[in-house]
Structure 1
Amino acid sequence: MDKQWILLCLMICTPLSAGLDPHSLEFQYVVYWDRTDQLLFRQTTLLDGEVVFRCESPALRDEPGPDWVAQTLSSTDLTERDTYCKDQYYEHMDMWREINDMITQTADILQRSRGCTINSSGVFPFDKWVVNGKDFLTFAPRTLKWTALSFLAKPVAEEWNRKSFRNHIYGEFGQKECVKTHNMLTQRRDAWIHQRDRKNMKVCVFAKSITGSIRTALLCQVTDRDLSGLRIQLTEDGLPLECGLQLTGPLPHGDGTFQIQLQVEAIVNRTKPYRCEIKSGAVNISVPWDGHLLQDQASISPVILAVVCGSCFLLFIISLCYIQLHWKGNAGFKKVTLTDDSHSASSSDSSSLSC
């Protein structure tokens, strides 16, 4: 029993397909007996070869794998994934019983791999079944036909080819639902990766007057460690501005980052919004202009300068007047002193003469 269980474990852990196209969505289903003779079910979802969901009985919770899955899917999305896993559990348990009722040996382990690969040539759905580690059946989503891959599977293929309603559902999944789910997951993954990589991106939007012109220069500066693939434009009320367009950079910024600057000229209408739009793959960043000109902040300086200069001039006049008054006061005091001294000296001389 232990050897048989080890063999089944190896079969479960071995994926049905290897080297799938890099752009693929694959659902792997396994129905198997565990060591306690309990029939279990497992569903694994792979996006471009990476496990993104895993669901197992008895919990039947489709648990997200990578961080981007949990961070980009809503609680409603995750609940729908749980519901889908439960539906697949009941469906595959029923099909496992159907197979065991029609074949001459026991299906100890049932494996199924279905999904789609996508490349420049188109979409290629697949649906492959394996019983006890051996190829068993394939289903063609386009023709809606089952093909037996072993003598053991012939009665199953014949019976399942009569189930047109179920076959139609499988065909819709392979040709439409699989592609739709793949595109949704891919877009959310790419958006999360770009947001993670662009989290340190700095975007500044400002404007300045053009001397001798009624136009205003609008500028957008973008700084990041990687500016490859960026598309930048300045817009007025959502429409691109192209007058006087100048693009500078990317230039090294001295700290390992690079900076690119876009400048356009426009007759600013204060009732319309102006924005810098940055796009790259799934990234879509929009930064508004706050409506201030660089010289608006500097326009306070002449006022302050006039006040300071006026205060200094007034202080200078007051100081000058004080000095003049002080000098005149000191000069009068000395004159009186000299007169008294002279008078005293004359009196002394007169006294001496008289003596």
Structure 2
Amino acid sequence: MMKLNWIELLILCLIFSAAECGFHSLQFLSSGLVKSTGRPVFEQLLLFDGVEISYCDSRTRQEQLKPTLQTKHLPETCDEARADILAFLYETTPFINRTVGVVQRRRGCIQSDDGSVSAFEAWAVNGMDFLTFDPESQKWTSQSPSSETVRHLWNKDKERNFAFRHFIRHLCPEMIQKITLRSVNKNTELRVFGKPTAYTNQALLRCHVTTTDKSAGSVHLVGDAAPQAIWTSVTGPVPSGDGCVILRLTARIYTQKPNTYGCTVQTGSHNRTVYWDGKTLDGTDLANKFNSNWKVLSLLIGLGFTIIASTILFYGIIVLRKCDKKIPVPKKLDSLMMRLIENSSSPELKIIALSFVFGSNIPEKYKESLEEWAKRMKEKDLNYYDPDYFAGNSNVSEI
């Protein structure tokens, strides 16, 4: 693209507030596109103070005036500009060491309140600077190594260079004096909408401002959740071509908090704030979609845990049943053994019989015999291990 110079800086100043800067500008933006068939297509856009006032192309060759233009003192056709573009494509392309797909031309003038005029003319090839024209010296300057041959050729064509200078230094300022734009009421529109992303819990919040109030210079993200935005970027203000200025804010946010995000645009006369309703430009509800997806996901997670727990419990019961089958079930009590338990006067014998018949699950009615046997065994052990017992027993002989 063409490099930004002091002329373009003045033009940008004009775009946002021509009256305050004290300048008026008129720009002729021409282009020629070479199609695959080899036949070029021509287009030209005419801007006054950054506002589109006329359009012309190779199909009609007639200037189509825009509604923003109140006066009609403009050339009726764009034949001259079209001829210049075609001459470049047919005559100079062979001298350029590359294939030419697009040729761009920007020419015009800037007039200040004191009547002084600054004129400019520049050409580009395939989006890169190619040649620039100095109207005072009527000489061309190369902006690309491939333009040297063309520069020498054009510098020799003094008649054409004089015509170029006359147009941008004299005819262009005369046109400026005859142009009047329609007055536009100051109006500011702010639209806030979301765009889905690859992450279901995130969205791109877009705040789009279109205003005829050229004092509008900024748009901000506001709301309780604004500090939680992942990132924010602002572009503009830039002219829309119809007398409006466009600003745009883009922020990456979390979709579960729709009504806590908003945007505020500041103008010289008032501020306007709009909060996001959680929807996209086509009306899709991103916030509810996220909440629905989260509910479905939670339901699936809960269902999954329930299935897993049920499976574990099911197999646990099966294992316990298998283990339970290995535990011997008491056989039918032998009548002789039961008589031994009932009639024996020896606790030791009863305990042996009880253990043989019931194992560790001895019925309550037999636990008295077990306790008596345990008591006797304790007394026996105490007598056996007590030194005083042996010292007081006269039947024990010394060793």
| TM-score, normalised relative to structure 1 | 0.44
| TM-score, normalised relative to structure 2 | 0.39
